[in-house]
Amino acid sequence: MKPLILLIIIVLSLLVVVGVPIVIMFKITIPIAKKVCRDTLVKTSPDKWGRVCSAPDNEEQVAMWRSGIKWAELHREKMREVSIVNDGLKLVGEYYDFGSDRCVLIVPGRCECLMYSYFYAQTYTGRTNVLVFDSRSHGLSQGDRSYLGFKENEDLLKCAEFAHDELGNKEIYLHGICIGAATAVQALTLDSTQPYITKLILDGCYTTFYETFKNHMIYDNRPVHPVIDEIRCILKKEIGVDMKKQGPIYLIHKVKVSTLFLSTSLDKFSLPEKTIELFNKCASSDKHLVWFDKGAHSHVRINNEEKYDEAVLNFIGL
């Protein structure tokens, strides 16, 4: 047999041996990736991401929810319902007027409605006004999917504009949790950011959605590759966002406002070393990092209420 023919046979055999399993793997994993994208980031029914506790089986989450509801009921006379329109979507919120000329805008994480924000509003009671909103596609706000903060950031600036121009607040603070923190970072690096946004509080901010999602998969003992890579490709095609190459870690060097990082050493999703990386790259000349020994991701305050509130109030000067 001629050497060239033999080489061709060997190459074809290798392609069959290696290629067939790869094809089979992708046939299995791509539908999984599509389902994960749909389940995680698309509002597939009117009830999804509604005004309900997002984790009714989690004891701490339920405690946060109930505590927040009590706060809202206690201060119901201070509240009025508000709404804005951005990107053709009506976004619904609540404004708690405590007679201040400053307002904190609380930005919840993915799957959370404005009622989740009540728990964090307690920190500011009677000290600043509080504005909470249902993010697009959450609660009573319109929309059909999450954009990993890359459209929500524009919504956030519109809410801040409303708080300043329509509600009369001279200063606006942004307090974000998880993807809400990432959204706040992304908002403050837009050209349309205004100087009346003076302070930024980041609770459990991640470097990229890719990083935190990968950590979720590891935590849940699910195989990471190639599903997460397929999800990345799907999202680039569907919403134009590269979840690995876009995110707070690529933007934090543009953040100049006073910034407070709140993190727990037990965070399995926004890892402590990543928080340090974000802190070091933040361009603010007035930045602070406060560590907590208790609490999982997004559950820092429920485990450290006194220290958490003291850190925030010291930061904003109250």
Give the least confident one: 18-22, 78-82, 113-117.
18-22
Model confidence pLDDT, tens digit, residues 246-270: 999 999 999 999 999 999 999 999 9
Q: What is the DSSP letter of 216?
A: H
Question: What pLDDT, on the 0 to 100 scale, is given for residue 9?
Answer: 53
Q: What is the rounded average pLDDT of the residues 118-130?
A: 98
The share of the chain scoring above pLDDT 90, in percent, equals: 87
Model confidence pLDDT, tens digit, residues 27-51: 778 898 999 999 999 999 999 999 9
Does pLDDT of 222 surpass 90?
no
Average pLDDT in the chain:
93
Q: Which residues pair with 102 in a beta bridge?
A: 171
| CB 134 within 8 Å of CB 180 | no
Model confidence pLDDT, tens digit, residues 128-173: 999 999 999 999 999 999 999 999 999 999 999 999 999 999 999 9
Token readout for 119 is 């728990």
SS3 264: strand
Q: What is the DSSP letter of 306?
A: H
Beta-strand pair 197-203/171-177: parallel
Q: Which residue has the tokens 């928080």?
A: 275
Instruction: Please enumerate in sequence order all residues whose Cβ is within 8 A of that of 12, keeping only pairs 6 or more positions apart, or say none.
Output: none
Q: What is the rounded average pLDDT of the residues 295-314?
A: 97
CA dihedral 156, 182, 67, 306 (to 10 degrees): -120
Going along the chain from its start, the domains and CATH numbers come out as 56-207+247-316 (3.40.50.1820)
